[in-house]
Amino acid sequence: MRLIVGISGASGVIMGYYLLKALRQIPDMEVHVVVTEGAAKTFEYETELSVAEVTALADVVHDHTNMAASISSGSFKTDGMIIIPCSMKTAAGIAAGFATNLLLRAADVCIKEGRKVVIVPREMPLSRIHLRNIKELSDCGCVVIPPVLTFYNGAQSVEKQIQHIIGKILMQFGIDYKEFVPWEGAE
């Protein structure tokens, strides 16, 4: 399996790190990563991780300005893309087909090729403009997984909440995640 991970400059870049760690554990998984300039700044603000530490978890790292990268073409086959977190700027760019960086172009390619694109939009509250763009992405076939809190699984820490979100994302690609606690039903 080959996936693209885009990390854009919204709050919550740590979720991208957790996703890359989870994908690293999957045999025969090839991961391509694109980190935007905004995401690199957000890693500095929100974490003690360097971008180099984060991208070291991927098989291939693409510069966000390299519009000639392999993932910029539909002839480079992938199983899809995950954008985590997905800033509202990124959502707007994808929705408008305004591919001014490699992350936007890779998403555009996945959509045009009918490949799965999962976005994890990160903003609160959502304006009508944000909702319109997210709806447009959903109408184009993107799966929208907002990073909302869950409580039925006993997730008492931020890390457990993130692991739940990662599990929900990976389910979209048919991947089981050992840290995910599914709902088992109640009597």
- The C-alpha atoms of residue 161 and residue 143 are separated, in whole angstroms, by 19
Confidence (pLDDT) at 14: 98
36 known ligand binder: yes
168 known ligand binder: yes
10 known ligand binder: yes
45 known ligand binder: no
List the one residue out of 157, 31, 154, 30 whose CA is nearest residue 84: 31
Tens-place pLDDT, residues 137-167 = 999 999 999 999 999 888 899 999 999 999 9
Q: Which whole-number Å values give the CA distances from 150 to 15, 147, 163, 176, in the listed order?
A: 15, 9, 11, 18
Give the pLDDT mean for 100-120: 98
- Classified by CATH at the fold level, domain 2-173 comes out as Rossmann fold (3.40.50)
What is the average pLDDT value for the chain, to the nearest integer?
96
42 known ligand binder: no
Residue extents of the structural domains in the chain = 2-173
90 known ligand binder: yes
65 known ligand binder: no
21 known ligand binder: no
Confidence (pLDDT) at 50: 97
89 known ligand binder: yes
2 known ligand binder: no
124 known ligand binder: no
Is residue 116 predicted with pLDDT exceeding 90? yes
Confidence (pLDDT) at 184: 86
Is residue 53 predicted with pLDDT exceeding 90? yes
Confidence (pLDDT) at 154: 87
Is residue 57 predicted with pLDDT exceeding 90? yes
